[in-house]
Structure 1
Amino acid sequence: MLNYANHIRDKMMESPVLASQAAANEIDQFGASPDFEKVMMKAVVDAFKSHKTMSEQVLKK
């Protein structure tokens, strides 16, 4: 589970807007960013798609 959380965090920090906000704000302000949830949901969906594809490839073998 920790690897998953780290993966999501890393994907979120690929957003220049979010990375800039993380550097400039305290954790409470950063978490309250209107961009935070949007970027997090995109990272979760992207991770789901990636893991689903990899799982399907393993199951086909």
Structure 2
Amino acid sequence: MRLFRRDTHMSFGQWRQRVRMLHALAVLAEGRSILEAALECGYSSPSAFSAMFRRSLGRPPKNYF
């Protein structure tokens, strides 16, 4: 864990969330639905996904593209 934090300057949880967000952006850019993006990125519901998306990027996924 120390080596991971030293090399990435973030915790594993932060890194995982960032990877999920990058994947979600790619899915949404393809024109797929918020539900598809949420499920593909491991979220149990579109509302949980939307809340994380808004916290990370400052706006909901439907207004991003």
Provide TM-score, normalisation by structure 1. Answer: 0.35
User: Could you say which structure has the higher helix fraction?
Assistant: 1
Greater relative CO (CA pairs within 8 A, separation 6+): 1
